[in-house]
A and B are shown apart, each in its own frame.
Chain A
Amino acid sequence: MERIPILRMGQFLLVTIQIDLYDRLALDLAADLVKTASKTGARGILIDISAVDIVDSFMGRILSNIGAMAKLIAAETVVVGMQPAVAITLVELGLPLNGIHTALNVEKGMALLRSKIAGIAGETDPNND
């Protein structure tokens, strides 16, 4: 069965989605991520979706869910590299993904995660609502 690899890097978990996510795969990914996060005690999850061209409302919800579940086990989630078309679709679908953090690229995403974990609030985080 196809699975999306989850890489562990220090305190963080890295996921790069490079194939079209179908529903089953997305659900598995969410479950795997939470399991791995709790097992390794990871403090942050970084999901790179720069290769994803198409999302639907289900995908949007899964992303939100991952964010919410990670929060429950004290981990922050950052989604990076979203394509403009994907962002427009999500907004048009009424899914602004308020629960998760976003960053332009992996580098900025990692910086954001670090600052979140270091507890530096406010000005280093442009996405702080």
Chain B
Amino acid sequence: MATEIIKLLKDKQAIILERWMENQLTPARVREDLISSDDLRADSVALITALVSNLKEKSLNDTDSADFNPITELLGSISFSRAKQGFSPRETGLFIVGLKEVLIAVIQEEVKDPRQLVDLSLKIHRLMDNLLIITFETYIKGREEVILAQTDEIAEISIPVIRVWDGILALPIIGTLDSARTQVIMEALLTEIVESSSDIAILDISGVPTVDSMVAQHLLKTVSATRLLGATCIISGIRPEIAQTIVHLGIDLSSIVTKSTMASALQHAFQLLRLEVYKRTPANASHVKPE
């Protein structure tokens, strides 16, 4: 009796696979947009094969045994990729639950003795529950990795230092400013100032949703640091609401040049660099725009 589950699995492998696929391909469960049915089939075949070829009766319910390693590995990689493909936890869980349903159904058909049936189903339950736990653990790990990668991406894309003119850098800040981001922004800006030996840096905060005393503190720090390098920092993009908050909070930004728009900041920068921008008209066509 002891070898029966494995034997049963081996004998019925093809049937189990077919039923499981049928189960997975019901319209309510299938996610053609995320995974093709061929890939799904490949995953299922791999998992069943791994189960059948690696499971031993004595280690059936001991997930720590070495027999389980290939299964754990395979299941891990499947649910890991599910997490990255954007499957919901429910859909990932149903992958294993579906197999469990089918296994129980097959056993019910094959085993007639009620005591043995209960015994076997219990074993199957335990085994599949263990697999389900493994699936979820790796699924969550996968999701965490996705989140971490996104966080890094946001941190990177949010600090473009733009060279708008020879000697003028612009840095549009999008999103909230916390100390970690200020540090990154400050480093990027200062490095670029030194590399391009620019005299003026324009910090545009029109993409910063709110300015509180902490944010103002960070801005002041950035401005001081640019000044230490020998460059001038202009803050632009101060919306009326932000101007109100700054005054209400009693933040003193009087030591900093602030402008409402990037355009006026740029104009101020031109003035500092003694540049002028002309509109070309027939009368002064000989005037060439300063490059």
Asked whether B148 is an interface residue with its Cβ less than 8 Å from the other chain, the reply is no
Contact bitstring A53-91, B, C-beta under 8 A = 1, else 0: 000000000000000000000000001101110111011
Tell me whether B186 is interfacial, beta carbon within 8 Å: yes
Whether the Cβ atoms of B186 and A88 lie closer than 8 Å is yes
- Contact indicator A104/B228 (Cβ below 8 Å): no
Interface centre among B193, B198, B221, B229 (most CB of A within 10 A): B229
- Pick from A79, A91, A101: contact of B221, CB below 8 A: A91
**Using Cβ atoms and an 8 Å threshold, which residues of chain B touch A103?**
230
Chain A contacts to B: CB under 8 angstroms: 79-80, 82-84, 86-88, 90-92, 96-97, 101-105, 108-109, 123-124, 126-127, 129
The interface centre, meaning the residue of B186, B227, B228, B274 with most chain A CB atoms within 10 A of its CB, is B228
Say whether A96 contacts B230, CB under 8 Å: no
Number of interface residues of B (CB under 8 A): 25
- Is B228 a contact of A123 with CB atoms below 8 Å? no
* Binary interface encoding of chain B residues 209-233 relative to chain A, with 1 for a CB under 8 A from any of its CBs, else 0: 0000000000001001111111110
Instruction: Report the separation of the CA atoms of residues A97 and B191 in the bound assembly, to the nearest whole angstrom.
Output: 20
Cβ of A63 to closest chain B Cβ, rounded Å? 10
* A106 CA / B166 CA spacing, docked (Å): 19
Within the complex, the shortest CB–CB distance from B259 to chain A, in Å, comes to 15
Residue in contact with B272 in the complex, picked from A80, A90, A126, CB distance below 8 Å: A126
Supply 27 A–B pairs (Cβ within 8 Å), ascending by A.
A82-B228, A83-B194, A84-B225, A84-B229, A87-B225, A87-B228, A87-B229, A91-B221, A91-B224, A91-B225, A91-B228, A96-B224, A97-B228, A101-B230, A104-B193, A104-B197, A104-B198, A104-B229, A104-B230, A105-B197, A109-B230, A123-B271, A123-B274, A124-B274, A126-B199, A126-B200, A129-B255
Cβ of A92 to closest chain B Cβ, rounded Å: 7
Q: Which residue of chain A has its CB nearest to the CB of B222? A: A91
Question: What total of A-B pairs shows CB separation below 8 Å?
Answer: 70
Closest Cβ of chain B: how far from A70's Cβ, in Å?
17
Given A105-B197, A123-B274; A96-B190 close (CB under 8 Å)? no
Q: CB-CB < 8 A to A123: which residues of B?
A: 271-272, 274
Q: Kindly provide the distance from the CB of B290 to the nearest chain A CB, expressed in whole angstroms.
A: 16
A129 to B197, CA, bound (A): 21
Q: Give the complex CA separation of A88 and B199 in angstroms.
A: 18
Candidate in A103, A108, A126 with the most chain B CB atoms within 10 angstroms: A126
B188 CB to nearest chain A CB (Å) = 9
Chain B residue numbers with a CB within 8 Å of A83 are: 194
Of all chain A residues, which has the CB nearest B193? A104
B183 to chain A, nearest CB (A): 8
- Is B156 at the interface (CB under 8 A from chain A)? no
Q: How far is the CB of B157 from chain A (nearest CB, A)?
A: 21
Contact with A along B170-212 (1 / 0, CB 8 A): 0000000000000100110011011001111000000000000
B68 to chain A, nearest CB (A): 50
B230 near A84 with CB under 8 A, answer no
Question: What 0/1 readout, one digit per residue, does chain B (70-99) give for beta carbons within 8 Å of chain A?
Answer: 000000000000000000000000000000
Cα A97 to Cα B227 in complex, Å, equals 9
A84 near B255: Cβ-Cβ < 8 Å: no
B191: chain A residues at CB < 8 Å are: 84
Residue pair B190, A88 in contact (C-beta under 8 Å): yes
- Residue of A88, A96, A108 near B187 (CB, 8 A) is A88
Nearest-neighbor residue (CB-CB) of A103 within chain B:
B230
A126's nearest neighbour on chain B, judged by CB, is B232
Contact B230 A82 (CB under 8 A): yes
- B187 and A84 contacting across the interface, CB-CB below 8 Å: yes
Residues of B within 8 A of A127 (CB): 227, 230, 232
Residues of chain B with a CB closer than 8 A to A96's CB: 224, 227-228
In the assembled complex, how far is the CB of residue B195 from the closest CB belonging to chain A, in whole angstroms? Answer: 10
